[in-house]
A and B are shown apart, each in its own frame.
Chain A
Amino acid sequence: MYSESLVPQLELVNATREQRKAVTPAPLADREKTVLLKKYHPDYKDSAFRDLRIGANKGDRVTHEFADLLESFSSLDHARLDLEPEVTTDVLVLGGGGAGVTAALFAESRGARVLLATKLRLGNSNTIMALGGMQAAVAAQDSPVRHFADTMIAGGFAGDRRLVKAMVEDAPGIVAWLLKVGVNFDRDENGDLATRMAAGMTAPRILSIGDHTGLNIMKVLKDELRKSDRIELAEFSPAVELTTSETGACNGAVLYDLGRRRHFVVKARAVVLATGGAGRLHNQGFPTSNNFGATGDAIVLAYRAGARMEGLDSFQYHPTGVMFPEHMVGVLVTEAIRSLGTHLVNARGERFVNELETRDVVAAAIIRECETGNGVRTPSGKVGVWLDLPILEELFEKGLLRKRFPALFKKFMRVRIDITRRPLLVYPTLHYQNGGVFIDETGESTVNNLFVAGEAAGGIHGRNRAMGNALLDIFVFGRRAGIAAAGRVGHEPGRLTLNHVANYYSRLKSLRISSVANSPTLFPEFIVDKI
């Protein structure tokens, strides 16, 4: 329920609805967009970045949050760890989201024994939270080539063309695989896969399952994973370090058993790192849409092992994160809402940006409104703008919101906000790590036998990921990484060492860097700031 102090504001949204329908803000010209982004998009805020002083990407611009983790000693005393492996396997998969589970299934299908270790319960991940849908060029008027072009353009041509090509070519086959394991993508009356448009697409390409796409895929994949005795599971066991052989190839990892509170070591012929993104680092203090375990661990682990990164200064801030009520701050309102024609409204009851602009532009425009005094203030002092959902019931039909967005409707009914009658207060939320560990088409990083898949990997989405391409990417590259990793079964992993960590630390010392951090972060420092 909205607090008393917001009531006049709510009334203003209602009162201005009719007149707002008549005035749609014009789309910005390229030059205007650049000016807006440079001034207000968090990726362009120079004071939030610095040049990395160490490692394979030395000299690259990265966020302070990543630099702090990479330019520090771990609080873990690596010299005292016993590296005698407790488990030996063919393929060690780290991370139990969509990418990890897919890698495990495909590695197993090629005859490998697999251990899948994950930080929380299997499936607790960003994958389960994906609402809107997944891209795949299956519609008659669409084609993989078109999908390629749209993706390259969305990413500002910073994406790696080989990876994008692989992704779009694999997409139809991946959909067929998901259907075969029992994923129920929505269909139309002819039995065709239903496809929808989204911002930046030149053909309808979004496949979905109601407004719970990721959840329904993940449920089925988790179930499928149980079929084989060759896949072992270690839940509540985050990886805290990779191990390398004398020649620097990856050959296992050190995990931390959260229940027993002790470390244990796994030896493997190949490792697939699929630990997801970094929203919980809360760049520049932004709220996040990400799950509890999204602390960017892949970056820390792989970087110390010598892997090259790509695009660590580029993040996606989703324009419509919830700002009220307090306990839902950062939670996502799906882009599908904006695509349908909702208005974004400032404290003066005006629209201030064409709502169909890309995510980065809309996010920058919201930040501009809030920083120039046109934002709406909550009782606790947070600032946002209104997302006028009730207008959709007028533009389309009564009952649309409940029918098309049942999960969203319920989520707010629980806190007694009826989205068919009330707008939501929103502000950009840290949503997606555009960059990550650099990979080739098989998913291998620049470190031998270390494969990376999913949000942890970089190079695919350039400077801006298009809606629905993340879900596609995790299955495509999860599969490729799993298959390639299984191909290393004949390989002898050699002795497990932490030489790479020791070397990294001596380099830090020679640079006179002496900060200590919990890196990887594993769990966000939670500060209750509502008192």
Chain B
Amino acid sequence: MITIELEGRKIRVPEGLTVIEALWDTGHDVKRGIGCLSGLCGACTVAYLEAGAQRVKFGLGCQVVVAEGMNVIMLPYFPSRIARYDMADMANPLQELPGQYPELYACDDCKACNICPEWIHVAGFMKNAKEAAYATVAEKVKDCHLCGLCASRCPKSIAPQYVGLYLQRSCARQQPLPPNLRKRLEEMATFADDADFARVPVMSDDELKDFCRGFL
């Protein structure tokens, strides 16, 4: 057994538990901060201070294993502003970034947001965003699960996760239709004329099996 400080209360728990398991083990009925239990969804963010340490760390409660002397709380939601838009109404959402997220330009690269549990260099992509290197941002935020920890640290109340999402979506929308998909969609227009395939619903079981195995 080890002793930790959990949600502001000193308590003994078995060794080897994650923060979420420690909460369950000590009778906390947590559901709100729980999603995938696999370190994938970002629902379970926590802030913790390790024994003897000076600096508070941040992480995912389903992945951080508690240790003797750790002081930990859940931080499952942090209020951050998200712009309201319907991308279908925008000719080029990339050009509208300054209007949607004016606060972005207040970012002075203090790097406080670099606490991403997915190891994304948040300050780096914010800089890219300010400098209009949008495709770079889109690439860098692919692992972002919108946990919002970065926003919780920003002294300017910017929400990097939403800026990243906006750019990721906008960049994708600006790309032309992939040629292979375009071709397939054109073929689909006359697809119903495929006489063999149209017979699928009425084939006997044996006929269906032969038909399918013909592709092997």
Contact = CB atoms under 8 A, between A and B. Distances in A.
Interface of A: 120-121, 123-125, 128-129, 137-140, 144-146, 148-150, 152-153, 157, 161-162, 165, 169, 172-173, 175-176, 179-184, 187, 190-193, 195, 202, 209-210, 212, 215-216, 219-220, 223-224, 226-228, 236, 258, 289, 291-293, 326-328, 331-332, 406-407, 410-411, 414-415, 523, 526, 528, 530-531
B143 A210 contact: yes
Nearest to B84: A226
Contacts of B145: 128, 215, 219
Contact of B178 (A124, A187, A220, A326): A187
Given A172-B181, A193-B180, A327-B17, A149 B36 contact: no
Given A169-B191, A184-B138, 4 more contacts: A128-B35, A192-B180, A219-B145, A327-B63
Nearest to A322: B38
Nearest to B201: A162
B173 interface: yes
Nearest to A151: B212
Interface stretch (B103-111, B123-131, B152-160, B203-211): B203-211
B194 to A, nearest CB: 7
A331 B38 contact: yes
Nearest to A195: B180
A289 B38 contact: yes
Contacts of B168: 182, 184, 216, 219-220
A227 B14 contact: no
A120 B17 contact: no
A157 B216 CA distance: 15
B39 A236 contact: no
Across the A-B interface, the 7 shortest Cβ-Cβ residue pairs: A182-B169, A124-B35, A184-B172, A149-B212, A227-B86, A149-B215, A192-B180
A152 B15 CA distance: 48
Interface in B138-192: 138, 142-146, 165, 168-173, 175-181, 183-185, 188, 191
B37 interface: yes
Contacts of A139: 180
17 contacts: A128-B145, A145-B197, A148-B200, A162-B201, A173-B185, A182-B87, A182-B169, A184-B142, A215-B40, A219-B145, A224-B87, A226-B82, A226-B84, A291-B36, A411-B39, A414-B39, A530-B15
B207 to A, nearest CB: 11
A341 B214 CA distance: 27
Given A124-B43, A327-B65, A414-B63, A176 B181 contact: yes
Given A144-B191, A202-B216, A531-B14, A138 B180 contact: yes
B169 A128 contact: no
Interface stretch (B24-32, B48-56, B67-75): B24-32
B35 A528 contact: no
Nearest to A184: B172
Contacts of A224: 87
Nearest to B211: A149
Contacts of A179: 172-173, 175, 177-178, 181
B34 interface: yes
Contact of A173 (B138, B183, B188): B188
Nearest to B176: A191
Given A149-B215, A172-B181, A327 B143 contact: no
Contacts of A146: 215
B100 interface: no
Which residue among B32, B37, B168, B175 has the maximum number of chain A CB atoms within 10 Å of its CB?
Answer: B37
B191 A219 contact: no
Contacts of A123: 41
Contact of B41 (A226, A291, A410): A291
Contacts of B183: 140
Contacts of A187: 175, 178
Nearest to B14: A531
Contact of A258 (B31, B143, B176, B191): B31
B213 interface: yes
B32 A236 contact: yes
Nearest to A327: B18
A138 B179 CA distance: 10
A173 B187 CA distance: 11
Contact of A138 (B24, B88, B184): B184
